Amino acid sequence: MKFRLPWIKKNEYAELEAMETVLNSVFSPVLPSKKFTNKLRSELVGKPKRKFFGLEIPNAKMGWMLAGGIFGMVILVVNAILSILRFTKLVGKYGKKNKGHIQATV
C-alpha cells in the first residue's frame, strides 16, 4: 500500500471533486424503458412463484409441509379446547357434589 501525505490526499480529493462536477454537467441520467426493466427483472429474479396466504410455495414438497403444519395446528387447538372443557366439567362435578352439604366421616 502506498503511503500518501495528507496534503497530497487533499489535492487528489479536490481533483476528484472537480472531475465529478464536470461529469455531472456533461452527462444526464437516462430512464430505461419499461420493457427492458421487466425483461431484466425476469432474468435476474426469475418467474413469480405461486403464493398461498402470502407465502411463496416453490414446489409440491413445500406445499405438503405447509398443509401438514396447518393440520397439526388444528389438531392441537381442538385437543386443547377439549381438554379444557373436560377439566372444567370435572371440577364442576366435584364442586356441585360437596356444595352446601356437610359430610360426616365415621
Dihedral sign of CA atoms 34, 39, 45, 49 in order? positive
How large is the average pLDDT for residues 81-103?
Answer: 70
How far the first Cα of the chain sits from its last, in Å, is 100
Write out the DSSP string of 38-97. HHHHHHHH-SPPEEETTEEE-SHHHHHHHHHHHHHHHHHHHHHHHHHHHHHHHHHHHHHH
Core vs surface per residue 30-49: b (16+ CB within 10 A) or e:
eeeeeeeeeeeeeeeeeeee
Nearest to 45 by CA among 54, 35, 37: 37
Domain boundaries, the chain: 58-97
- Sign of the CA dihedral with 35 first, then 36, 39, and 41 last: negative
Look up the pTM and report it.
Answer: 0.38
Higher per-residue confidence, 1 vs 57: 57
Helix, strand or coil, per DSSP, at residue 28: coil
- pLDDT tens digits for range 51-86: 767 766 667 787 788 899 999 999 999 999 999 988
